[in-house]
């Protein structure tokens, strides 16, 4: 295995020191069975990746259960992040979606206890509020979380999918101790730069990036006028196919060409660009295979200089895509 010099960063004001590249466990229990999950966790360990992000929603609890099994005997080698606050629902069209749970003290306690049981651990390192609950005051939510922390059930807590307005409301609570904010952020979805990231900088909150490769678009595997890769997510997802507009694919092609001048792969350029962005602590990669994880981990010792960041911005402007990039994603919480 190629040697990778892994970077580690503190998560906000916490004592957690996490690898910049983190392993997203969204696919565990869905696309990855126990054997595949074990091989990816083994590989992550060998690569120095110590942060794993999961949620009860992922695989309807299967992601947490598989992690509980494969982490047996080495739980202390990893920082485990899981979440509370979302449930799966079926839309009027018959599709699956998600809805927000009411974050009562009783719900939070039960959800954390269930996650602890599935993960086969005594304490969750980072518990993230999966979405903002407008029906419960942040002060009440944080009071319940502090009780869980005092009981040794969680070490730290953060938030996920919050809009700038929601994050401001949370931070206004006198007992708020958020250390992280997980957001959709990548080279071509940069709306967070306008308000959300500056707020995180101001309050010393670490940004955890998901959708780091824009649902696979920034890997440059989708080409204009070429068939979709047979095993790609776009092959089975209309939502992703709708993103493959000619102007988007042209921009990605230009970025791929620029990456080649740096002797980087498109994935390395995209992840190194993220890792070098202000206040970014962790870049999550949702690998489904060892080859994918290896390709992402290679970005751990890549850097992007200020002039190279400017060159990337120049390509986005030249392609006429800057307004669209700065307005994406259209929503902070995608149901």
End-to-end CA distance of the chain: 39
Kindly state the tokens that stand for 235: 């092959």
Kindly state the tokens that stand for 6: 């892994």
| Helix, strand or coil, per DSSP, at residue 234 | helix
- Is position 264 annotated as part of the catalytic site? no
Residue pointed to by tokens 């509370």 = 84
Asked if 30 contacts 58 with a C-beta cutoff of 8 angstroms, the reply is yes
Helices 266-275 & 290-297 angle (0-180, nearest 10): 50
Which residues have a Cβ under 8 Å from the Cβ of 334 and sit 6 or more positions away?
161, 184
Q: What is the distance between the alpha carbons of residues 98 and 82, in angstroms, rounded to a whole number?
A: 17
- Active-site position among 8, 58, 156, 258: 58
Angle at 240 between CA 96 and CA 254, to 5 degrees: 160
The catalytic site residues sit at 58
């Amino acid at each position: 295995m190629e040697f990778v010099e892994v970077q580690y960063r503190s998560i906000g004001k916490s004592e957690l020191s996490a690898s910049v590249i983190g392993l997203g466990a969204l696919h565990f229990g869905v696309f990855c069975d126990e054997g595949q999950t074990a091989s990816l966790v083994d590989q992550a360990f060998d690569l120095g990746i110590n942060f794993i992000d999961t949620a009860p929603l992922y695989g309807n609890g299967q992601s947490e259960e598989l992690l509980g099994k494969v982490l047996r005997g080495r739980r202390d080698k990893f920082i485990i992040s899981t979440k509370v606050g979302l449930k799966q629902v079926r839309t009027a069209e018959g599709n699956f979606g998600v809805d927000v749970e009411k974050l009562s003290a009783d719900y939070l306690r039960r959800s954390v206890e269930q996650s602890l049981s599935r993960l086969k651990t005594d304490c969750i390192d980072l518990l993230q509020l999966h979405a903002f609950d407008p029906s419960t005051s942040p002060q009440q939510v944080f009071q319940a979380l502090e009780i869980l922390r005092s009981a040794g059930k969680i070490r730290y807590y953060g938030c996920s999918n919050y809009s700038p307005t929601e994050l401001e409301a949370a931070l206004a609570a006198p007992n708020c101790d958020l250390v992280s904010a997980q957001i959709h952020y990548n080279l071509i979805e940069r709306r967070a730069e306008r308000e959300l990231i500056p707020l995180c900088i101001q309050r010393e909150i670490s940004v955890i990036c998901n959708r780091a490769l824009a649902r696979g678009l920034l890997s440059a595997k989708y080409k204009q006028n070429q068939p979709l890769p047979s095993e790609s997510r776009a092959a089975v997802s209309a939502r992703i196919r709708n993103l493959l507009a000619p102007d988007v694919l042209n921009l990605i092609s230009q970025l791929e060409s620029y990456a080649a001048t740096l002797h980087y792969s498109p994935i390395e350029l995209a992840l190194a660009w993220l890792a070098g962005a202000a206040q970014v602590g962790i870049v999550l990669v949702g690998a489904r295979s060892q080859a994918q994880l290896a390709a992402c981990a290679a970005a751990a010792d890549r850097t992007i200089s200020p002039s190279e960041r400017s060159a990337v911005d120049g390509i986005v402007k030249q392609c006429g895509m800057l307004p669209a990039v700065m307005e994406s994603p259209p929503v902070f919480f995608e149901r």
